């Protein structure tokens, strides 16, 4: 499995640590967990931490698109933490698929990403 999920802040923040290539099976784990949190809290925030991330298999990319369309307004913030230039570019690519505030942080800024993610909704 290329994804590890950790629930934080009483279930309002989902940390997803991803490595390797995401698969359909990873989404079979991620989607129910996120939807469970949405039922409990209405909206969630996501930390998407990429470590040696290699992208998505085709089926997983389709799963991602379906998830984004279904939950377009359900996520407040997405903090993307990565180590490569193309991962930073994903931040810009993701913005049209969500109403969430999306921000990229380098690996060395993971702590800052968590602070921003858990901050007051008025924080930029």
Percent of the chain past pLDDT 70, that is, above it, reads 94
Confidence at residue 1, expressed as pLDDT on a 0 to 100 scale = 61
**What domains can be seen in the chain, in order of their start residue?**
3-118 (3.30.750.24)
pLDDT in tens, 14-24: 999 999 999 99
Mean pLDDT of 91-114: 90
What's the rounded Cα separation, in Å, for the pair 94 and 69?
Answer: 11
* Torsion sign (Cα): 119, 106, 91, 12: negative
pLDDT in tens, 58-97: 999 999 989 988 999 999 999 999 998 888 888 888 888 8
* Torsion sign (Cα): 31, 37, 39, 45: negative
Model's pTM, two decimal places?
A: 0.87
């Amino acid at each position: 499995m290329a994804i590890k999920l950790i629930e934080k802040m009483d279930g309002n923040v989902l940390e997803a640590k991803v490595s390797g290539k995401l698969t359909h099976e990873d989404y079979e784990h991620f989607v129910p967990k996120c939807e469970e949190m949405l039922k409990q809290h209405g909206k969630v925030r996501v930390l998407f931490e990429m470590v040696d991330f290699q992208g998505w298999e085709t089926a997983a990319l389709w799963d991602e698109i379906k998830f984004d369309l279904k939950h377009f307004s359900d996520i407040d913030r997405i903090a993307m933490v990565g180590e490569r230039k193309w991962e930073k570019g994903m931040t810009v690519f993701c913005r049209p698929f969500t109403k969430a505030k999306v921000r990229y942080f380098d690996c060395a800024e993971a702590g800052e990403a968590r602070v921003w993610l858990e901050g007051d909704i008025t924080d930029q």
